[in-house]
Amino acid sequence: MYSNTHPVNVLKFCPRCGSAHFPATGSRSFKCEDCSFNYYVNSAAAVAVLLFNENGELLFTRRAIEPHFGKLDLPGGFIDPMETGEQAAVREIQEELGITVHSLRYFGSFPNEYIFSGYSVFTLDLAFLARTESLHRMTAMDDISSFEFHQPLKVDLDELPSISMKNIVKELIQREGTY
């Protein structure tokens, strides 16, 4: 009923006391039978940044890491603890592309299952529209190998493996001219 990478099938021991008596008490909760520690599986927050060039083409990155090595992605990443989504968006673009973005506007939230090191990390990807004057000065760094621009309507969704990124592109197409 759950995939091999689902927390219910991966987490075997209490992270507090190390007990093996650590049963799942639901699809997203565990309780240790020895020390009563409760553990909940929640969505991790992440950001995706939507940057368009002067031709109305959207910026995509190529992944330099697993999962989905070599496939398309949108720039962004996990939000650090106690960081705002806006701060994470600015930081991730600086880290991945070496430029500064501004004028962030919330576009929507898109759930995803991100399988990393054999473990399903459930995320909620917050998409932000952003602006920059530095698109011509971008350099691919960090966990991306290169970048490219595509019209949302023309991007090959098979090249974009993440469910949330696919849904962001679909919503951009649906809401074209209104954001």
Give me the amino acid identity at 178: T
29 contacts Zn ion (rule: CB under 5 A):
no
Question: How far are the Cα atoms of 44, 84, 85 from residue 81, in angstroms, in the given order?
Answer: 10, 9, 10
Please give the radius of gyration of the chain, using alpha carbons only, rounded to the nearest integer: 19
Among 2, 17, 26, 137, binds Zn ion (CB under 5 A): 17
Among 5, 29, 37, 62, binds Zn ion (CB under 5 A): 37
Among 19, 29, 84, 109, binds Zn ion (CB under 5 A): 19
3-state secondary structure of 87: helix
Residue closer to Zn ion, measured from CB, 23 or 111: 23
CB of 179 to Zn ion, least distance (A): 47
Structure tokens at 3: 């995939």
CA dihedral 84, 90, 117, 11 (to 10 degrees): 0
Among 14, 58, 97, 169, binds Zn ion (CB under 5 A): 14
CB of 119 to Zn ion, least distance (A): 20
Among 4, 26, 27, 35, binds Zn ion (CB under 5 A): 35
The string over 94-106, giving b where at least 16 C-beta atoms fall within 10 Å of a residue's C-beta and e elsewhere, is eebbebebeebee
Give me the amino acid identity at 65: I
Q: Using CB under 5 A, list all residues that contact Zn ion.
A: 14, 16-17, 19, 32, 34-35, 37
